[in-house]
Structure 1
């Protein structure tokens, strides 16, 4: 486990999957990340690359060939990730393509993820370099799970999410048996900017938003105010999810989504897919800022 600390925050990152596994206050005992209880959901904040969610029939078609790209990609749980740089405020991890990965994803790439402490915040930056002699295709996503409730005097239903602007947005329903996006939608936010959390909110899996105007969402407690804010200016999609009746909520900035249930499996035409020309570099970042009143 690698750690960073400033006067306010401490973070820890597991080199396996380069997974952010702790955000805590230095001056008190407050913890803000889910504890990855394996009996409920044994992850903290998986990094999603080169796909988000499920691939139809567990097979992507790339240039006429089938490739078994795993659900959420192959960065999470990956033991080949290396620590490339460590400073007083920054941890940088990278994954380079190899023979085994080329069998399931036929592109030469370097994936880098950087964690930077900036006062009360953690900035997570994804960098993809195209090392191939052809364009490469990918999606990127974050999956951080935040403790909810944070304090002993609270319950899950004391919490809500607040967006930075009023929204009229529907969630795209998932085919829960397959994990694929459907055309069915259901209303979640109508002329409002909040979603109240309750244990039945995710009985049909994640909320998937494609058309939010907001680029910030705050996790708030009716008893203790703003807990944290996720700022995701580079990400056009947002997922919100938790296991039913679990004491956390995932706020997930995405560049891309799971396959549509009627998709033809052509990887290059997936919704939200990024095409990166040869020898080019792509960057996208989101920031998790803890409200400073909870750090003293």
Structure 2
């Protein structure tokens, strides 16, 4: 089921499946800023990554001497959320643990996703609550895909990502979905990373030490794009499907398994720990320019 938000500046649509942001339009031009989900390239628009980010080695992890199967990016993006709040400026969704989720994730949780409009800014807030009696281990991340250009490679190449606090970044290499120990340094001229199709031919760009908490997507004239803000996400990914006219800006609290990981969930890089009754909160926002 689809749900809508609207104010004087923005029109937003969110699907109950995965609490996924499906549409974001700036009312002065009504131009769609979210990727269409064209299955020829990639059929998602903004999936929620929970309770893992990225891939596990052999799609498995170990917890308390038991082996669990869990596919890339976890299960939340494929599950129906319950709408628990709906007013003129806010949509709030909830996913609770169940017997089904216990088959591949042995923790009791409530996961809330909230979308809120404030003038020309859309906020997305995540809230993870441990409703069990034991320590909870998890990761969470965002994966929004924004339209770039008008459908041609030439227009795609006119765009760049501007980082507010980085002039060079270390990009970790990916091997069959797993994070390697080696990385390459990318020097950003004027804090800017130019977009091109071939930038993503070897998979996503993955960063572990990004200083920036604001990235601006804009074209050569600086007139078309958006501002993407995020705080307290220790990892970040940038990705696009091959030759597709979008870019994903992905703040993560968690990361794919390393190539040398022993598959123990408690020893996984970037894993978060939550005591009973505790709450974990993160948010990101997008404003249109």
Tell me the TM-score normalised to structure 1 length.
0.94
Q: 2:163 matched to 1:163? A: yes
Query: How many Å separate the matches in 1 of 2:240 and 2:151?
Result: 18
SS in 2 for 1:100: helix
* Residue in structure 1 matched with residue 72 of structure 2 by the alignment: 71
1:244 aligns with 2:234: no
Instruction: Answer whether contact 1:218 1:226 (CA < 8 A) is retained.
Output: no
Preserved contact between residue 19 and residue 44 of structure 1 (Cα < 8 Å): yes
**Equivalent-residue separation in structure 2 for 1:151 and 1:90 (angstroms):** 32
Partner residue in 2 for 1:294: none
Q: Quote the Cα distance in structure 1 between the aligned partners of 2:224 and 2:38.
A: 25
Q: Evaluate the alpha carbon distance shift between residue 141 and residue 95 of structure 1 in structure 2; reply closer, same or farther with a 3 A threshold.
A: same
| Residues 206, 73 of structure 1: alpha-carbon distance in 2 compared, 3 angstrom cutoff | same
Show the counterpart of 1:148: 148
Contact persistence 1:168–1:192 (CA under 8 A): no
Task: For residue 34 of structure 1, give the secondary structure of its aligned residue in structure 2.
Answer: coil
Structure 1 residues 221-260: aligned runs within 5 Å:
221-225=219-223, 227-260=225-258
Pick from 202, 205, 216 the counterpart of residue 203 of structure 2: 205
The 2-side partners of 1:189 and 1:274 are apart by 31
* Residues 71-104 of structure 1, C-alpha deviations (whole Å, 9 max, x = no match): 101111212x111110100000010000010110
Structure 2 match to 1:269: 267
CA distance in 2, matches of 1:137, 1:73: 13
Distance between the aligned counterparts of 1:12 and 1:91, measured in 2? 10
**TM-score by structure 2 length?**
0.96
Q: Which runs of 5+ in 1 are unaligned?
A: 292-296
More divergent stretch after superposition (202-211 vs 159-168): 159-168
**Residue 165 of structure 2 aligns to a residue in which SS?**
strand
Matched, 1:60 2:61: yes
Query: After the TM superposition, which parts of structure 1 deviate over 3 Å for at least 4 consecutive aligned residues?
Result: none
User: Which residue of the partner structure matches residue 120 of structure 1?
Assistant: 120
Distance 1:212 1:221, change over 3 A: same
How far did residue 28 of structure 1 move? 2.3
Cα deviation, 1:28-74, whole Å, max 9, x if unaligned, reads 23111111101110110000011001011111101111111221011
Aligned counterparts of 1:130 and 1:258: Cα–Cα separation in 2: 22
The residue aligned with 1:24 is: 25
- Residues of 1 paired with 2:136 and 2:167: CA distance? 34
Distance 2:215 2:188 in 1: 16
Q: Distance in 1 between matches of 2:35 and 2:112?
A: 24
CA distance in 1, matches of 2:223, 2:19: 31
8 Å Cα contact 1:163/1:216 also seen in 2: yes
Structure-2 separation of matches of 1:234 and 1:84 = 26
Q: Could you tell me which residue of structure 1 aligns to residue 137 of structure 2?
A: 137
What SS is found at the alignment partner of 1:48? coil
CA RMSD of aligned residues (A): 1.6
Unaligned stretches of 5+ residues in structure 2: none
Aligned partners of 2:149, 2:93: CA distance in 1, in Å?
Answer: 30
Shift of 1:226: 5.2
Contact 2:166 2:210 in 1 (8 A): no
